[in-house]
């Protein structure tokens, strides 16, 4: 059976020190359990044309070192495209920058986090709305995830359900409608990715009162966060009409 591929919208590249592991779309594809032929990548940051979403099972939006608040032309075009995709009913999953871009596209507020930089393996706390969410239901109320960011979603879009938060971030995940999710953390990160980011951001971490060496030592696996990508793929594959298929 021929199945529609997933579209991965690339909004940035990993740190130079981590590019030996490939680019973000590769990390996401592997974590999501997708084969190469099941994905199509468009590099929005470098001007690729964003296609008609009707040819895809769902959309995944990568992270980036860019800032949504810079309102770069490519970013604003991507936000407008995302807004149309979501309102058209396409399943969407935004990661870090993609999470913020999705929130911005739907009318939320994105800016620098007043709590400062968040880096390393953090603990997510699920909100009550997560119990009824197709991706988050059945997960423990607290579990680890990898994060590295300065900006955040200060206000989720109107009508969105906040699903998870951390000590430093009040909106680590949200769902808008039945098929659009944003997560501030990085479910595609393995421990070597996270450690690499902590080492590279050591000076910034110190400036925000943290100890990069301690944060690096505390990096641990985050399999439940990673599982969300596979849950999204299953959800998008099985969604039909306006209904959703809940995870068992």
- Give domain status of residue 62, yes or no: yes
Catalytic (active site) residue 211: no
Over the stretch 177-206, which tens digit does the pLDDT of each residue have?
Answer: 999 999 999 999 999 999 999 999 999 999
Read off φ and ψ for residue 94, nearest 5 degrees. -105, 135
Q: Which tens digit of pLDDT belongs to each residue from 29-77?
A: 999 999 999 999 999 999 999 999 999 999 999 999 999 999 999 999 9
Domain of 169 in residue numbering reads as 6-112+151-189+224-238
Write the pLDDT tens digit of every residue in 129-181: 999 999 999 999 999 999 999 999 999 999 999 999 999 999 999 999 999 99
Q: What is the mean pLDDT of residues 233-237?
A: 97
- Any idea what the CATH number is for the domain that residue 54 is in? 3.40.50.880
Supply the pLDDT for residue 1. Answer: 54
Residue 209 lies in a domain: no
- Helix ranges restricted to H, the chain: 24-32, 73-87, 97-105, 191-200, 202-207, 212-217, 223-238
Position 26 in a domain: yes
pLDDT value at 240 more than 90: no
Distances, alpha carbon 115 to alpha carbons 13, 153, 166, in Å: 25, 12, 11
126 within some domain: no
The confidence band for 239, taking pLDDT boundaries of 50, 70 and 90, is: confident
Ramachandran sector of residue 171 (left: φ over 0; alpha: ψ -120 to 50; beta: rest): beta
Give the pTM: 0.94
Q: Is 188 a catalytic residue?
A: yes
If you average pLDDT over each of 1-15, 171-185, 234-248, which comes out highest? 171-185
**Centroid of chain to Cα 119:** 15
Cα–Cα dist 86/81, whole Å = 9
Tokens standing for residue 162: 């906040």
H-run or E-run covering 243? none
For residue 2, name the pLDDT band (cuts at 50, 70, 90).
confident
Residue 247 has pLDDT above 80, yes or no: no
Catalytic position from the list 99, 172, 186, 193: 186
C-alpha span between 194 and 145 (Å, rounded): 10
Pull the structure tokens for residue 163: 């699903």
Query: What is the distance between the terminal CA atoms of the chain, rounded to a whole angstrom?
Result: 24
Q: Which residues of 7-44 are buried (b: 16+ CB within 10 A; e: fewer)?
A: bbbbbbbbeeebeeeebbbbbbbebbebeeeebebbbb
| Structural domain count, the chain | 1
In the predicted model, what is the mean pLDDT of residues 111-118?
A: 96
Collapsed DSSP state (helix, strand, coil) of residue 124: strand
Q: What is the pLDDT of residue 238?
A: 85
To the nearest 10°, report the CA torsion of 216, 222, 228, 234: 130
H helix or E strand, kind and range, residue 41: strand 39-43
Instruction: Note whether residue 211 is domain-resident.
Output: no
Q: Is residue 218 part of a domain?
A: no
Domain-located, residue 183: yes
Annotated catalytic residue within 96, 104, 118, 149:
96
Report yes or no on 216 lying in a domain: no
Look at residue 30 in the predicted model and tell me its pLDDT.
Answer: 98
């Amino acid at each position: 059976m021929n199945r529609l591929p997933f579209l991965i919208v690339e909004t940035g590249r990993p740190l130079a020190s981590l590019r030996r592991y490939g680019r973000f779309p590769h990390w996401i594809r592997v974590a999501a359990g997708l084969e190469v032929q099941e994905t199509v990548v468009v590099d929005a940051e470098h001007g690729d044309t964003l296609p008609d979403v009707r040819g895809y099972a769902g959309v995944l939006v990568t992270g980036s070192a860019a800032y949504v608040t810079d309102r770069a032309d490519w970013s604003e075009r991507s936000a407008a495209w995302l807004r149309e995709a979501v309102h058209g009913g396409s399943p969407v999953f935004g990661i870090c920058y993609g999470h913020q871009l999705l929130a911005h596209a739907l009318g939320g507020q994105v800016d620098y986090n007043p709590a400062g930089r968040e880096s390393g393996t953090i603990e997510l706390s699920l909100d009550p709305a997560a119990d009824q969410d197709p991706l988050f239901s059945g997960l423990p109320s607290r579990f680890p995830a990898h994060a590295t960011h300065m900006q955040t979603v200060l206000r989720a879009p109107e009508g969105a359900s906040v699903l998870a938060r951390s000590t430093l971030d009040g909106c680590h995940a949200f769902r808008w409608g039945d098929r659009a999710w944003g997560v501030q953390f990085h479910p595609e990160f393995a421990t070597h990715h996270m450690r690499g980011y902590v080492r590279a951001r050591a000076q910034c971490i110190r400036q925000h009162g943290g100890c990069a060496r301690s944060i690096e030592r505390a990096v641990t696996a985050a399999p439940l966060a990673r599982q969300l990508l596979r849950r999204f793929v299953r959800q998008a594959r099985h969604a039909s009409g306006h209904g959703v298929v809940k995870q068992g």
